[in-house]
Amino acid sequence: DTGVSQDPRHKITKRGQNVTFRCDPISEHNRLYWYRQTLGQGPEFLTYFQNEAQLEKSRLLSDRFSAERPKGSFSTLEIQRTEQGDSAMYLCASSWTSPTGELFFGEGSRLTVL
Amino acid sequence: QKEVEQDPGPLSVPEGAIVSLNCTYSNSAFQYFMWYRQYSRKGPELLMYTYSSGNKEDGRFTAQVDKSSKYISLFIRDSQPSDSATYLCAMTHNTDKLIFGTGTRLQVFP
């Protein structure tokens, strides 16, 4: 069990550029979540997938953000025309569909927009 | 008003102290309550899980849920320097997604 892996761990970009983050969940898990965390705050829900279907998107996810999970395996989160307010840690988590709702998190991808 | 409120701290205690961490929430539909621990530069990891009201104990950790007051607590007995981390409460009503508190930063000094 290699856990949830995220890539890259840190991305520095200039305002207006596009960035893409990748998440590889635990292989047996059918749910995959994206959260955003800023300094001193808890993770904020962005979106989640069950297999390849995107079931919910937060209103935090503007039209500059898009997430995919082709074939229900890895997922990508793309941010277009980045803004300084997008600077944050982007956390991916995976889980089974279960009553406990336990999420297994990756170590996150930190985005810095200059 | 946020759905889940948590005192951000920081909380600084000596080794061996009893620590009390708390969250309040506004959505009475929440049924599943969790505490996650997050070390610096790491993702959160599940520490305790409780369904509905009641207490749950696991070693030095005790989680309490009072649904009538919309209040949950995490107690840490005999705190250790290795407990120094940010503690996040999280909750959900239907397991579709977790709603997290802001986190309380705890430092246990020797």
User: Closest partner residue to B42 among A33, A56, A107, by Cβ?
Assistant: A107
Please give, rounded to a whole number of angstroms, the shortest distance from the CA of A28 to a CA of chain B.
18
pLDDT value at residue B67: 93
Please give, rounded to a whole number of angstroms, the shortest distance from the CA of B28 to a CA of chain A.
18
pLDDT value at residue A36: 97
Residue among B12, B36, B56 nearest B101 (CA): B36
Per-window interface: A 74-103 vs B, CB < 8 A: 91, 93, 97-103
From A101, which residue of chain B is nearest by alpha-carbon distance? B95
The answer, yes or no, to whether residue A100 has pLDDT greater than 80, is no
If you average pLDDT over every residue of chain B, what do you get? 93
The answer, yes or no, to whether residue B34 has pLDDT greater than 60, is yes
Given the structure tokens 């590889």, which residue do they identify? A24
What confidence tier does A97 reach under pLDDT thresholds 50, 70, 90?
confident
From B50, which residue of chain A is nearest by alpha-carbon distance? A100
If you average pLDDT over every residue of chain A, what do you get? 93
Rounded average pLDDT over B33-44? 94
Lowest-confidence range among A91-100, B16-25, B37-46? Answer: A91-100
Q: What is the DSSP letter of B42?
A: S
pLDDT value at residue A99: 55
pLDDT value at residue A107: 95
The answer, yes or no, to whether residue A101 has pLDDT greater than 80, is no
pLDDT value at residue A72: 84
Cβ neighbours of B110 (radius 10 Å): 7
Strands A109-113 and A10-13, bridge-based pairing: parallel
Name residue B83's amino acid. Answer: D
CB-CB under 8 Å, B41 with A100? no
Rounded average pLDDT over A71-95? 95
The answer, yes or no, to whether residue B1 has pLDDT greater than 80, is no
Q: A83 with A113: CB under 8 angstroms?
A: yes
Say whether A70 sits in a helix, a strand or coil. helix
> Which of B30, B31, B96 best probes binding to A when mutated, by most A CB atoms within 10 angstroms?
B96
CB-CB under 8 Å, B6 with A43? no
CA-CA distances (angstroms) from residue A6 to A2, A24, A34? 12, 6, 11
Task: Provide, rounded to the nearest whole percent, the portion of chain B with pLDDT above 90.
Answer: 80
The answer, yes or no, to whether residue B97 has pLDDT greater than 90, is no
Q: How far apart are CA B50 and CA B30, in angstroms?
A: 11
pLDDT value at residue B103: 95
Cβ neighbours of B3 (radius 10 Å): 13
For A39, residues 6+ apart whose C-beta sits below 8 A from its C-beta are none
Q: How far apart are CA A109 and CA A101, in angstroms?
A: 22
The answer, yes or no, to whether residue A40 has pLDDT greater than 80, is yes
What confidence tier does B95 reach under pLDDT thresholds 50, 70, 90?
low
Rounded average pLDDT over B5-19? 92
